[in-house]
Chain A
Amino acid sequence: MSDNSPWKAGQPIVSIKNVRKSYGSIEVLKGISLDIMKGDVVCIIGPSGSGKSTLIRCINALADIQDGSITVEGQEVHDPKLDKLALRRKVGMVFQQYNLFPHKTALQNVMMAPVKVLGQPKQEVEARARSLLKKVRLEGKENAYPGELSGGQQQRVAIARSLAMQPDVMLFDEVTAALDPETVKEVLVTIKELAADGMTCILVTHEMGFAREVADHIYFTDLGVIVEHGPPSTFFDNAQDPRTKAFLGQIL
């Protein structure tokens, strides 16, 4: 996106090399490497506590790393001189608990960051916010407060809020884990459409059917390392590592 970045199309949009991360004396990520190309949809799966959230939080510098490197569009994320705002414009994030602003309506939630952080003109942002809410099928809910929306609706507002910053990469951390089974689908449909539009997506998910359908590549993590990875067909039908097999056996 930005002109002065060394990044060129054809290179990975997100590149993670040998990342190590500890909380205190406990090493949570033990040398993780993966590359994501523009427009790719990558799913990260693995047992709880294996470091999936930590990894995804490192990508937009919500957590720091002790070793290795993460670049987004060629820019080192953990460079102390990094312009955090520039990074966060490029990388959107959606959380398991939606984390909407409860005192703002759906429309205001979507508009807040572009207006207050980027200083974009209100009218322009409002038009964009309305069309984003329409895109996530929330037309008519613009003036509803988060407390008046279902979990699935709140999560779609959160997706629209993230998209309003016009990111190049979207991170999703178990965004359907807190939802009722009936509403999971509406959120997955939204993400699927986003992927079909060419958005680069990195998803942590337990929805294996969904991962198989939308992912270009699946990574299986356990205890802070990537155990196995591959395109969905080989990954799901032809897993090699016993840990992967055990996990898939449990969950499928």
Chain B
Amino acid sequence: MIETIQSFFRELAQTHPKWNFIFFYEPSQWARVVSGLAVTIELSVACVALSLIIGIVGAWAQGARSPFLRWLTQGYIQLFRNTPPMIQLLFFYFALGQFTPAIIGADGWTEEPVISNIGWAIVSLSFFAGAFNVEIFRAGIEAIPQTTKEACEALGMNRLQTYAYVVLPLALRVSLPALNNNLVNLVKTTTQAIAIAVPELLYQMVSIWNDYASAQNAAMTVLFATYILLVGALAFAMNRWERALYIPGFGGGR
């Protein structure tokens, strides 16, 4: 099976020199694609999770009593929403990276920073998407009518109980469509980690076509296809989640 595929693409590369899918018949190049894909998935999953946490904490901080906390959150949102994620990546890696300590590697003489470039990409992209998540969650929380919270209060619930049992479950449902969009965007934005040499899928594909110019069209085709599948999988999961949380007569749902 694998051999049939390999020989098909090897022949294709000979008959159509501009369509050299080298990674489909050259195991060493295939390994680069797979490792790139693995890093992209790792980056996406970590950033989605971390940006969600940032969104929740930020939305809470925006409603906090302390003016300093509210001011800090607002500043954070403005900074990260209004600057390009590429510049944020470069800033985190090159500017902040200088100040983090380095540790001696396993071989006893190389120095490795505690936070690798993948680490910085995760931090930077999570803060980028997290700024939008804060606003998305806040809009969801604000959509819950004051009278609903009052009903909780009249039933003896305290603020924490009101949020845990009523406001947040409802706010999540309000937020999901916007959250869906932002997370899709985040997965696409992980490609910008190429700027700090994170070996994700785009980085690997570009390296392959730098080594084999004839593989350029093929690499780009595979990139498009892979991202359609990746983002499609995320959108599918989000839609399933939306449907699982659907409640009759609430929100704009089906």
Contact = CB atoms under 8 A, between A and B. Distances in A.
B155 A102 contact: no
Contacts of A101: 148, 151, 165-166, 170
A118 to B, nearest CB: 7
A132 interface: no
B158 to A, nearest CB: 8
B170 to A, nearest CB: 6
Given A60-B154, A88-B155, A147 B169 contact: no
A60 B248 CA distance: 32
A99 B250 contact: no
A89 to B, nearest CB: 6
Given A95-B151, A148-B248, A117 B169 contact: no
Interface in A165-183: 165
Given A102-B249, A146-B249, A97 B147 contact: yes
Given A97-B147, A99-B148, A117-B161, A88 B173 contact: no
A43 B175 CA distance: 42
A180 B170 CA distance: 27
A112 interface: yes
A144 B151 CA distance: 20
Contacts of A117: 155-157, 161
Contacts of A78: none
Given A146-B249, A147-B250, A148-B248, A99 B151 contact: yes
A112 B162 CA distance: 11
B156 A113 contact: yes
Given A95-B151, A117-B155, A148-B249, 15 more contacts: A62-B154, A84-B156, A85-B158, A95-B150, A99-B147, A99-B150, A101-B148, A102-B170, A103-B166, A113-B155, A113-B157, A117-B157, A145-B250, A146-B249, A147-B249
